Chain A
Amino acid sequence: MNFLIDLLQYPFIQRALISGIAISLCAALIGVILVLKKYSMIGHGLGEVAFAALALALVLNLPEIYIAIPIVIIASFIILIISQKQGESGDITIALVSAGALAFGVIITSLTNGFNIDVYNYMFGSILTMSTSDVIISVCLSILLVIVYMFFYNRLFMITFDEKYAKVCGINVTFYQFLIALFTALVVVIGMRMMGTLLISSLIVFPAIIAKKLTHSFKGIAVMSVCISILCFLFGLVISSLLNLPTGASIVMVYIGVLLFSSIWKKVIG
């Protein structure tokens, strides 16, 4: 316990804690919609796009996050538009975009310095290196997302459950789809510093999948996902600090443990 209290004295741990909680909250909220709309893989696909954007930013010696944000937002809109206009299923479009982006990123990286420490950090996450500006961005994003989620809750629920009915009711479904795509892109870009481009999708999908096993209402899943996400993040951060393991990977292992436990719990309790 003393070890944990000592850890909290370090500014880099404080920054990791604040931004980690903020990002976990955002990822859990957006994850509920994506998982229930069967767009679970979009986080993974956009993670690959973020990797390509980062590789480009490093080559051009430009600020990574400011290059990645617009590129990932555009990619999420492209995925949405192709899925809708051409009748492709969401997963096929995500697979095509992510494969192309990954190939682009690998070529750019290999043509320059190769997989240096910056690229490695973004691929696998480095929450302990988060700056004050990262903390401010992630806290602002989480506040904005919570406000938008609360304000549009009923419409987001309608669109997630029954898009066609929402359309019949006169709701601008396309606007809300773009809103979801926009927030997904922002969560991916800001969360990749914590989890890495390869593991960011786990932060989005695991809380909703676990919560879906434990509760039966949409509101219940939204609330429980946020709680699970923040608790798993804290537990993962503690484990990684105690055992000197990578934080992103530790959080994923905690999620897997909780998922297994919740599956057994559901089977036993019914």
Chain B
Amino acid sequence: MNIIEVEDLTTTYNGHTAIKNISFKIEKGEYVCLIGENGSGKSTLIKTIVGINKKDSGKIIKNIPPEKISYLAQNNMIDLNFPATGKEIIMTGVQKHKCLPFYKKEDYKKFADVCKLLNIEDIINKQISDLSGGQRQRIMLARALIRKPDLLILDEPCSGLDVNITKELYNILNKLNKEDGLTIIMATHDLEEIKTIGVRVICLATTVKFDGDIKDWKGEM
């Protein structure tokens, strides 16, 4: 079953065409990486899919409900001095239809599960400004995972992070894909990491230049 279908998608960003006539389909359980040089349209495509950017033309068909889709932005996209604890941030992930500042028992259960999965129990009560880049990104990943999504969309989640933290995050994502069947779409520059995992890559340069298994991809970015 196709979890998402993109048909002839074109998006303009800051006055220029960032992506043009993009088409692909992603099946449930696939691990797909969007690669390409800076300015190739990876982030624009991700943001168009999740609804942050408006498309000019084309179709995006999502065959799952919105609450089963989650999103993780780049590491540097949040206000680092914002006064909020890791716990406060993670809990916003379960709040799709809830307003009041109260949580159900099942929400706390999900919270405990995701903290254990990402090994962040000891940092959840700290302010985000007191955390390292890797710890912060694990908190943001926890926020994305607490709603138990079927589709996780990530926009260069490891940019600015050191090699060890990057490896750790890739291991977590790989485990979620292989063991839990989580569908992943990720814009990335980390070719070495994704080569070891073995994923489908879509290489962008405004249009799709390559779409297939990373083992078959010979090009340079």
Contacts and interface: CB of A to CB of B under 8 A. Distances in A.
Chain A partners chain B:
yes
Interface of A: 36, 150-155, 157-158, 161-162, 164-165, 167-170, 212, 215-221
A85 to B, nearest CB: 12
A34 to B, nearest CB: 14
Given A154-B92, A154-B99, A161-B78, A218 B73 contact: no
B67 interface: yes
A157 B88 contact: yes
B221 interface: no
Interface residues of B, number: 29
A161 B79 contact: yes
Contacts of A217: 83-85, 88, 127
Contact of B95 (A36, A154, A168, A212): A154
B190 to A, nearest CB: 23
Interface string B64-108: 001101010100011100111100110110011011110000000
B51 A167 contact: yes
A170 B97 CA distance: 9
Contacts of A164: 52, 73, 77
A151, A152, A157, A169: which has the most chain B beta carbons within 10 Å?
Answer: A169
B6 interface: no
A167 B92 contact: no
Q: Which of B73, B83, B95, B143 has the most CB of A within 10 A?
A: B83
Nearest to A221: B83
B50 interface: yes
A20 B66 CA distance: 44
Contacts of B67: 169-170
A152 B95 CA distance: 11
Given A36-B83, A165-B71, A215-B83, A154 B98 contact: yes
Contacts of A221: 83
Most buried by A among B50, B71, B85, B88: B88
